A and B are shown apart, each in its own frame.
Chain A
Amino acid sequence: MRKIPFILFILLAGFFAVLLLRGKDPAVVESAMIGKPAPVFDLPAALKGKAGFSSRNLHGKPALVNVFASWCLACRVEQGALEKIAKAENIPVYGLNYKDTPQKLAAWLQKFGDPYTAIGADRDGRTAIDWGVYGVPETFVVDAEGVIRYKHVGAVTENDYRDIFKPLLAELKK
Chain B
Amino acid sequence: MIVTLGHIALMGALVVSLLQPFIRRKGLATGLFALVSLSFAALVYAHASDDFSVLNVVENSHSLKPMIYKISGVWGNHEGSMLLWVWMLALWGFCVERAKKIPMGLKARVLAVQGMIGFGFILFILLTSNPFLRITPAPIEGMDLNPVLQDPGLAIHPPLLYTGYVGFSIAFCFAVAALIEKKVDSAWAAHLRPWVLAAWVALTAGIASGAVWAYYELGWGGFWFWDPVENASLMPWLAGTALLHSVAVLEKRNALGNWTIFLAILAFSFSLLGTFLVRSGILTSVHAFANDPARGIFILVLLTVAIGGAFLFYAWHAPKVKSGAGFGMVSREAALLLNNVFLFTFCATVLMGTLYPVFLSALDLGSVSVGPPYYMAVLLPLLLPFTLLMGAAPSVTWHKGSPAALLEKLSVPFMLTGMALVVLFTLPLRDKALSLLGCGMGGWVVVATLHDLWKKYGHKMPRSYYGMVDGDYMTPEKRWYPVDQKMTSEVALKMDGFSLLYLVMGEQDKDEPEKWVVRAYHHPLVLWILLGALMIAGGGLVSLTDRRRPS
> Which residues on A are within 8 Å of B, measured CB to CB?
2-3, 5-6, 9-10, 13, 15-24, 26-27, 29-30
Cα A2 to Cα B313 in complex, Å, equals 10
Pick 14 A–B contacts, CB within 8 A, sort by A: A2-B314, A6-B311, A6-B315, A9-B308, A9-B311, A10-B308, A13-B304, A17-B297, A17-B300, A21-B297, A23-B293, A26-B358, A30-B361, A30-B366
Name A2's contact: one of B266, B281, B318 (CB within 8 Å). Answer: B318
A5 in contact with B314 given A26-B282, A29-B367 (CB within 8 Å): yes
Nearest-neighbor residue (CB-CB) of A13 within chain B: B304
User: Are A24 and B307 touching (Cβ within 8 A)?
Assistant: no
Is the pair B308, A19 in contact by a Cβ cutoff of 8 Å?
A: no
A5-B262, A16-B276 known; A26 vs B281 contact (CB < 8 Å): yes
Any chain A CB within 8 A of the CB of B280?
A: yes
Q: A16 — which chain B residues lie within 8 A by C-beta?
A: 276, 280, 282, 300
Contacts of B362 in A (CB 8 A): 15, 18-19, 22, 24
Interface residue total, chain B, C-beta cutoff 8 A:
30
Chain A residue nearest in CB terms to B300: A16
Q: How far is the CB of B305 from chain A (nearest CB, A)?
A: 10
Residues of B that sit less than 8 Å from A by CB: 258, 262, 265-266, 269, 276, 280-284, 293, 296-297, 300, 303-304, 307-308, 311-312, 314-315, 318, 358-359, 361-362, 366-367
Residues of B within 8 A of A24 (CB): 361-362
Nearest CB in chain B: distance from A116 CB, A = 29
Assembly CA distance A2 to B257 (angstroms): 13
Considering the complex, give the chain A residue whose CB is closest to the CB of B228: A26
Residues B296 and A20 in contact, CB atoms below 8 Å apart: yes
Contacts of A15 in B (CB 8 A): 359, 362
Instruction: Give Cα A81–Cα B493 distance, bound, in whole angstroms.
Output: 51
A132 to chain B, nearest CB (A): 12
Chain B residues near A5 (CB-CB < 8 A): 262, 265-266, 311, 314-315
* B436 smallest CB distance to A (angstroms): 38
CB proximity of B498 to chain A, nearest CB, Å = 39
Specify which chain B residues have a CB less than 8 angstroms from the CB of A3 in the assembled complex: 315
- Among A19, A22, A24, residue most surrounded by chain B Cβ atoms (within 10 Å): A19
Which residue on chain A has the smallest CB distance to residue B258? A2
B282 cross-chain contacts in A, Cβ below 8 A: 16, 19-20, 26
Task: Give the residue name and chain of the B residue nearest to A27 (CB).
Answer: B284
Min C-beta distance of B262 to chain A, whole Å = 6
B293 touches A20 (CB 8 A): yes
Q: Residues of B contacting A30 with CB < 8 Å?
A: 361, 366-367
* Residue picked from B269, B359, B362, most chain A C-beta under 10 Å: B362
CA–CA, A5 to B312, complex, Å? 8
A22 to B297, CA, bound (A): 12
Given A20-B297, A21-B297, 7 more A-B residue pairs with CB atoms under 8 Å apart are A2-B258, A2-B318, A5-B311, A6-B311, A16-B276, A20-B293, A26-B282
The CA of A30 and the CA of B258, in the complex, are separated in Å by 44
- Give the residue name and chain of the B residue nearest to A22 (CB): B362
Contact of A13 with B311 at beta-carbon distance under 8 Å, contacts A26-B358, A30-B366 already known: no
